[in-house]
Amino acid sequence: FPVENIRNFSIIAHVDHGKSTLADRLLEITGRILKTDRNKQVLDKLQVERERGITVKAQTASLVHNYEGKKYLLNLIDTPGHVDFSYEVSRSLSACQGVILVVDANEGIQAQTVANFFLAFEAQLSIIPVINKIDLKNADPERVEKQIAKVFDIPQEECIRISAKHGTNVESVLQAVIAKIPPPNMKIEDPMKALVFDSTFDHYRGVIANIALFGGEVCKGQKIVSAHTKKSYEVNEVGILTPEEQPTNKLSAGQVGYLIAGMKDVEEAQIGDTFFLQKHPVEPLPGFKSAKPMVFAGMYPTDQSEYNNLKSAVEKLTLNDSSVTVHRDSSPALGAGWRLGFLGLLHMEVFNQRLEQEYNASIILTAPTVPYKAVLSSAKLIKDYRNEVITIVNPMEFPDKSQVSQYLEPMVLGTIITPDEHIGKIMSLCQGRRAVQKSMVYIDDHRVMLKYLFPLNEIVVDFYDSLKSLSSGYASFDYEEAGYEPAELVKMEILLNSRSVEELTTIVHKEKAYSSGKAICERLKDSIPRQLFEVAIQAAIGSKIIARETVKAYRKNVLAKCYGGDITRKMKLLKRQAEGKKKMRSIGNVEVPKDAFINVLKRK
């Protein structure tokens, strides 16, 4: 294919607006798949993607289409739809010259529509607006066109109305792709330069890297080098994706396809990396960054005897997802486990769900935390650390205030789109989460777009669920990273009869310390059984107690009634009975069932 007959594009949309369905129709029209219902959402390969209707890993397909007597190679680069994967989205987009922006004719513009639009807009791509689901009874394409004109400044007439489900007008989307999206501006004569925009692991063939050729040609037998790792490899196979891998003799400038070169680990082909020929080094493509986890959680097998099985499942899953970070961890209460880092909340949930579904694992996931930072004061700096700013992902490593000139917390800019009758409730929800409103715009007569700056920590637990429930499901939410800001953070410890419980230590904002301490104490009270003496449950910041609950002791007469006789025998009996019932952990003289930790540590 001559470069002028190649188009590289992506479909972007809010979840459920019809991206996968449209992709299926495009594959059908171009003869890549047959028209049967079995092929529904061909590009969503993972079970969790099919169930949740989201795309986690990007899939790509090269389509051949005849138009006005010419043959075109249309490379559809599927992007993950969610903000957690926004780095992957922007990498996929950098392999494109244009996008199809799909908006549901009934729901209109939603939070992810906005986020995805701006990723494409900032990358200076041609944008083809498509209104989908015009077959729906409540479809109001005109209203949605007006929203698009208002929010994105795209003339109403440019919108293409389709039904991806029924195939209505889908042909004109393909025509627009050919007419409006420019061919890639890349030359075969230039040195070979390949952008890695996705990679997967195959047990037999090793890493399969999805690449976009920004110049030159690459074929089997050549020696290539990764700009990021500096390692060199011999190319075993190149080809195009249909979406199945189909080997070809070579890939050339402007094309998109896959490359296999004996890499054993997805880390060797990280998203955003550049490959070049060993004999002809080039400057790497700009903007590579390693995946940066923003949400951390502890993970433990429900039953310690499952540890080895879980370990191998985690290893297998991370083979395909280099953005999850894994560190071994252990807790006296929950046993051996890991501390995992994820790109965001959805990423964490998807990982969890895949472990359960694909590997049948039963796990305990602890409440998520975010990476805080501390700017160390100079005295501490000279003594212990080389860096002035440290990142804290484990509350036990939280440096004391005396050593710190400032604590920092990660922020995100959130976009909420909602029918206006819910504005009041949503504003108070956001205020309760320490958010600062940045803007409020009507996108049509009844719908509002709100922007808030949130501390990331305030949205990692149940924010999205609360937003959904107080708007009866109508509000949508998306966010992007917004750097770090100073925050008054404190380390809160939980004490049982004055002994600190390591796994319940948390980092909290000063304003939230009281309510969060109180909640943990109450939950613990409900799950610690009565003992022979009183148990004080306290939340403390340094030496200051901020909340307290008490588990009363058994009363003597209760004991007398039940057992009678010698008191030490009674105690032994009681103890044995308790041990039989639940696995206990002793903290000082207090016996705590494992469930108590799970109740407090678990999300929700």
- Sites of contact with Mg ion (CB under 5 A): 19-20, 55
d(C-alpha 358, C-alpha 287), whole Å: 34
Paired sense of beta strands 436-442 and 447-455, if any:
antiparallel
Task: State yes or no: residue 53 binds ligand GDP (CB under 6 A).
Answer: yes
Q: Which of residues 117-176 bind ligand GDP (CB under 6 A)?
A: 132-133, 135-136, 163-165
Task: State yes or no: residue 559 binds ligand GDP (CB under 6 A).
Answer: no
Displacement of CA 396 from its chain's centroid (Å): 25
Of 21 and 415, the one with the shorter C-beta distance to ligand GDP is 21
Task: State yes or no: residue 501 binds ligand GDP (CB under 6 A).
Answer: no
Of 19 and 32, the one with the shorter C-beta distance to Mg ion is 19
> Which partner from the list ligand GDP, Mg ion, none does 128 bind, CB cut-off 5 to 8 Å by kind?
none
Alpha carbon distances (Å) from 201 to 41, 57, 86, 259, 341: 22, 12, 21, 12, 20
Q: Of 1, 29, 41, 420, which one interacts with ligand GDP (CB under 6 A)?
A: 41
Q: Which of 385, 392, 396 is nearest to 408 (CA)?
A: 392
User: How many residues in total does the chain contain?
Assistant: 604
> Which partner from the list ligand GDP, Mg ion, none does 165 bind, CB cut-off 5 to 8 Å by kind?
ligand GDP
> Cβ 36 to ligand GDP, closest distance in Å?
15
Is 16 annotated to bind a ligand? Reply is: yes
Those residues whose C-beta lies under 8 Å from the C-beta of residue 501, and which sit 6 or more positions away, are 493, 494, 495, 587, 592
Of 18 and 254, the one with the shorter C-beta distance to ligand GDP is 18
> Which partner from the list Mg ion, ligand GDP, none does 242 bind, CB cut-off 5 to 8 Å by kind?
none
Residues 517, 539 contacting (CB under 8 angstroms)? yes
Q: Is 498 exposed, middle or buried (0-12, 13-18, 19+ CB in 10 A)?
A: exposed
Of 21 and 457, the one with the shorter C-beta distance to ligand GDP is 21
> Cβ 98 to ligand GDP, closest distance in Å?
18
Q: Is 122 exposed, middle or buried (0-12, 13-18, 19+ CB in 10 A)?
A: exposed
Helix (H, G, I), strand (E, B) or coil at 177: helix
Q: Which of residues 362-391 bind ligand GDP (CB under 6 A)?
A: none
Is 132 annotated to bind a ligand? Reply is: yes
Applying CB under 6 A, the span of 12-20, 212-220, 343-351, 480-488 interacting with ligand GDP comes to 12-20
Task: State yes or no: residue 16 binds ligand GDP (CB under 6 A).
Answer: yes
The string of DSSP codes covering 202-247 is ETTTEEEEEEEEEESEEETT-EEEETTT--EEE--EEEEESSSEEE
> Cβ 23 to ligand GDP, closest distance in Å?
8
* Angle made by CA atoms 150, 153, 155, in degrees to the nearest 5: 95
x/- letters, 76..115, toward ligand GDP (CB under 6 A) = ----------------------------------------
> Which partner from the list ligand GDP, Mg ion, none does 234 bind, CB cut-off 5 to 8 Å by kind?
none
Is 80 annotated to bind a ligand? Reply is: yes
Of 65 and 133, the one with the shorter C-beta distance to ligand GDP is 133
Q: Which helix (H) or strand (E) holds 46?
A: none
d(C-alpha 538, C-alpha 148), whole Å: 54
Q: Which helix (H) or strand (E) holds 89?
A: helix 86-94
Of 243 and 593, the one with the shorter C-beta distance to ligand GDP is 243
32 secondary structure, DSSP code = S
Angle formed by the axes of helices 345-359 and 307-319, nearest 10°? 120
> Which partner from the list Mg ion, ligand GDP, none does 293 bind, CB cut-off 5 to 8 Å by kind?
none
Q: Which residues are annotated as a binding site for GTP?
A: 13-20, 78-82, 132-135
Q: Which residues are annotated as a binding site?
A: 13-20, 78-82, 132-135
Contact residues: ligand GDP, CB under 6 A: 13, 15-21, 41, 53, 132-133, 135-136, 163-165
